[in-house]
Amino acid sequence: MKIKHIALTTALATSVLVASVAQAQIKFTGYYEETFQSGSAKNVSSALYTPNNGTGTANTSNADVGRGMTGEAQLRATSTATLPNGMIGEGMVEIRRSGGATPSVWEEREVRLSTADGSILVGAGYDFQRGIEITRNFYPSVGNRAGDIIGTITGVVDPLDSTSSQHYIFADFPKLNIGGLGAGRLSFAFDPNSAHSGSTTLFNSDVNADRVTTKGQSRYSVGYTQNIGPVGIALGYLNGDQKITNATAALDPEVKNFGIKYVGSNFAVGAQRFINSNPVTGTAGTSEDKQTDYSITFNPAADIGIGYIQTKQIGTIAGVKDADEIKQRLFQVAYTMGPIVISGDYMKTENAQYIAAQDITVARAKIRANF
């Protein structure tokens, strides 16, 4: 009799679960891409970046750029349902794989609650773009952003944020209309403890990292974007509280980000400026990366895009500027044929990783299928 009761209860619970899933709409999106890359490095240093022309741990292959191919696949599933209280509930998970032997990993994922009109969105997640990250690369580009061609070996960075490879709580207001301006968005994100994610926390925004193992760093950030006709602006701010301290300073990061762009009928121009401020373990004073980007894109035809991004990055520690500024020029082109996109990048970075005369040149060709 007891066994029958358990079986009946299980059957009822299963039927309720199936019914609730059946009411949800599940959408799959993704892409697959193959990239060919060829490059060279001049005056490859035997040391990693350290401030003010210092020396570091020997790593002669750190800036080597070779020839080869790589691929990346992404699959994202999003489930959307109208809840009994009239709100909208969503769950999103993404699996991604890059390289040949790299195992597939879960990356971006969120659980969300929103009002029926989508004007208020709250929830929690991992590695999605919330808070300051919605302003991360506000300048127009054709394809990849300036810091995403060959990864971090150039030393070119993004603004620090509170969501990348971290768990967070967020509130988003994607349909703001302050003062009748329209097309505004405000986003907040809070990461209570970066150590819980098992990832590294950058002590400076360059290629080095400081692993927090016992006590983590909490971060909150806010991002705001606003379109006023063809002009768009972006403002971002991050602040953090590091639980580990040393004799000289608490490791509390702060980031300020500002971007502006103009989008015309077949062209766009933009600029961005941000400052990553983050003290270094065992070092007196604040370490900073100040980056300025300028970009322009042009569409000679509806399916062809051409772009140029120029980046300058200055490193400072304890108020002393590093003599070797990182300078990067990036030329881009893309041809879109529906779901198939063929693109190319040519990039040259001078003084990579703040090391004098360490120059990196890369040419890439990519074909991508979106689905």
Would you say 60 and 46 are in contact if contact means Cβ atoms under 8 Å apart?
yes
3-state secondary structure 227-265: EECCEEEEEEEEEEEECCECCCCECCCEEEEEEEEEECC
Task: Give the C-alpha separation, 152 to 303, whole Å.
Answer: 30
Domain ranges for the chain: 26-60+72-370
| pTM summary value | 0.84
Q: How far is CA 247 from the centre of its chain?
A: 32
Residue type, 247: A
Can you tell me which residue has the tokens 């894109």?
Answer: 297
Rg from Cα positions in the chain: 23
- Who's near 244: CB < 8 A, 6+ residues apart? 212, 214, 215, 217, 251, 281
Task: Give the C-alpha separation, 290 to 124, whole Å.
Answer: 30
pLDDT per residue, tens digit, the chain (371 aa), is 444 443 444 444 444 444 455 468 999 999 999 999 998 877 665 545 544 344 444 344 456 677 889 899 999 999 999 999 999 999 999 998 876 555 668 889 999 999 999 999 999 999 999 999 999 999 999 988 888 888 777 888 889 899 988 899 999 999 999 888 888 999 999 999 876 544 333 334 433 334 344 456 789 999 999 999 999 999 999 998 876 555 444 567 899 999 999 999 999 999 999 999 876 544 555 678 899 999 999 999 999 999 999 999 998 877 788 888 999 999 999 999 999 999 999 999 998 888 888 889 999 999 999 99
CATH code for the structural domain at 26-60+72-370: 2.40.160.10
